Amino acid sequence: MNTYMEEYKRKLVTPEQAARLVPSNSIVDYGSFACKPVDFDIALGERTGDGLQNVSVRFIGTVLPVPQVLLKDPEQKTFQCFSWYFTAIDRKAGDFGLVTHLPFNYHEATGLAYNPEYISKWPDVWVCQTTPMDNSGCFNFGLGNSHLRGIALGAKTVIVEVNENMPLCLGGSDEYLHISEIDHIIEGTNTPIFALPELPEATPEEKKIAELIVAEIPNGACLQLGIGSLPNTIGTLIADSDIKDLGVQSEMFCDAYTKLYKAGRITNAKKARDINKSAYAFCLGTQETYDFINGNPRCASYTVDYTNNPTNIALNDNMIAINNIMEVDLLSQVCSETSGLRQVSGTGGQLDFVLGAFHSKGGKSFLAFTSTYKDKEGNIQSRIKPMLTPGSVVTVPRTVVHYLVTEYGAANMKALSVWGRAEALINIAHPQFRDDLIKSAKDMKLWSKTNRIPF
C-alpha cells in the first residue's frame, strides 16, 4: 500500500471538485446498479443552473437514492438522462419524460465498451463507487462488474468514489481498476450500499409456476435466475428438495443463490467452465447476500460478455434459464419490457439466456408469468393476448421462445406450427379467457379444423 499512497493522495479530490470536471456537451457514465456514485451525484446536481449545458448522464438499473441530476433539474435545462435498464425509479422518471431508454442485448455491452467503432458513445467522465484501494493499488468494482472496466478505460476522465461498505467481489475477470488507470479519487461518505428489502411471500399462482419449473430441473443443472418473488420461491423449493450439484452462470447473483448455497445445493461441480465457482456479472439483493458474496472465492465476478454470451451459456449441460415476462400473443411473440409504449424494464440478458439455454445439451429456457393481472381499474386481464398491446416491443421473437409457463401449465413452443402455438398458449391461459382467445385465433385464421394434430 505504501507504494501507492503518494499517488493516491495526489489524486484525491472532493465531490465538488470532481463535479467541476464535467464540461458542457459531454457524456457522464454512472457505473451500474448499486455501484452508481452518491456523493459525486449530489455535487453534480448542484451544478444545475450554473451555466453547464447539454450533459448526458447514463445510468444502468437506477437504485436509491434517486439521482440528484434528476431531482435538481426537472426541466432538463442542464442534464438529459438515459438508462440501459429501467427500474422503478427509471420508470417513474420516464413517465415524466426525464429518462430515455437505451435498448440493447446485455451480452453486447462489453463489446460496445471496448469497440473503437463506438468511440462517439464513450463517456467524457466515468464515475463509479468502488471498494477502497487494496495493497496492489486496485479498486474493486464490487457488486457491478458487468462492462465497467471497458467503458472506464474508454473515458477521458476516470473517477472512483470509494465506499467502505462496498462488498469485495472476487474475479473472474475485469473486476477492478488499478490506480494508474484512475484520474481522480473521491473518499465518499460511506453511505449504505443499496440493498433490496425482503420480498413478500409468493402468491399461490407463483408457487404453482415454481413447482412446475422445479420439476424440470435435474441434478447437476446450471441455473440462471432473475429478480423477484418467483426466483426466490424457486430457490426455496430447490433448497427443500433433494436436487444436488447445481451450478450457477447468471448475469445477476440474487438472493435465491445464497439460500441454495446454505442448503448445500450449489457445488458448481458439473459445469463446463468455472468449476466450483458461480459466475455472475453483477449482484443485487439483500444485505445477507452482500455479506455472503463479500470476499467469497466460491463466487466469480465477470464481464457480461462472458456470463451472457449465448455460446458460453450453451457450454454448460442442462442449462436452466428462468425469466419473467409481461405478456405474450397468440403468435407466441413475447414482451418482457414494455406496457404499450411505457418502458418498464429492458431486454437485459433475457434473450441471451433464452438462446444459450436452448442450445445447451439438455438445457431448457422457461419464460414464466401469471396468466392474469389487474389493470388500473381493478379489472382482471389476460397476459395471453390475441396480439401484443399496441406499442409493446418484442423482447423474445417467436422463433426463439422455448417454454412458456403459467400456473395452468408449461408449453414447449419449439417445432409447433402457427396454430399449434396458439392452441398451446390457450391451454395455459386462465379458463375465463380461453373461449375469447379461441374466437380471436379463428378470426386471425390461426385456428385449424385439424388442430388436434400435435403440431
Residue 199's pLDDT is what? 81
Q: How far apart are CA 74 and CA 58, in angstroms?
A: 16
Asked whether residue 173 carries a pLDDT value surpassing 90, the answer given is yes
Q: What is the average pLDDT across 146-159? A: 97
- Mean pLDDT, the chain, integer: 95
Q: What is the average pLDDT across 54-66? A: 97
C-alpha cell at 363: 438445457
Asked whether residue 2 carries a pLDDT value surpassing 80, the answer given is no
Q: What is the average pLDDT across 363-375? A: 97
Residue 297's pLDDT is what? 98
| Residues recognised as catalytic | 251
Residue of 265, 307, 258 whose CA lies nearest to 284: 258
Give ∠ CA 38-43-49 in degrees, rounded to 5: 135
Q: What is the average pLDDT across 201-221? A: 96
Looking at per-residue pLDDT, the higher value among 113 and 199 belongs to: 113
Amino acid identity for residue 238 in this structure: I
Count of C-beta atoms within a 10 Å radius of residue 25: 10
Q: What is the average pLDDT across 369-385? A: 97
Pairing of the two strands 222-225 and 247-253:
parallel
β-strand partners of 101: 83
Q: Which residues make Cβ contacts (< 8 Å) with residue 37, sequence separation at least 6?
A: 30, 31, 127, 128, 129, 159, 161, 186, 188
Asked whether residue 455 carries a pLDDT value surpassing 70, the answer given is no
Burial of residue 123, with CB atoms counted within 10 A of its CB: 0-12 exposed, 13-18 middle, 19 or more buried: buried
Q: What is the average pLDDT across 337-344? A: 97
Residue 229's pLDDT is what? 83
The domains located in the chain, with CATH, are 2-187 (3.40.1080.10), 204-443 (3.40.1080.20)
* From 140-149, 285-294, 438-447, the region with the lowest mean pLDDT: 438-447
- How much is the pTM? 0.96
Residues in the chain: 455
What band does 169 get if pLDDT is binned at 50, 70 and 90? very high
Asked whether residue 374 carries a pLDDT value surpassing 80, the answer given is yes
C-alpha cell at 1: 500500500
Share of the chain above pLDDT 70, in %: 98
Residue 201's pLDDT is what? 87
Residue 1's pLDDT is what? 58
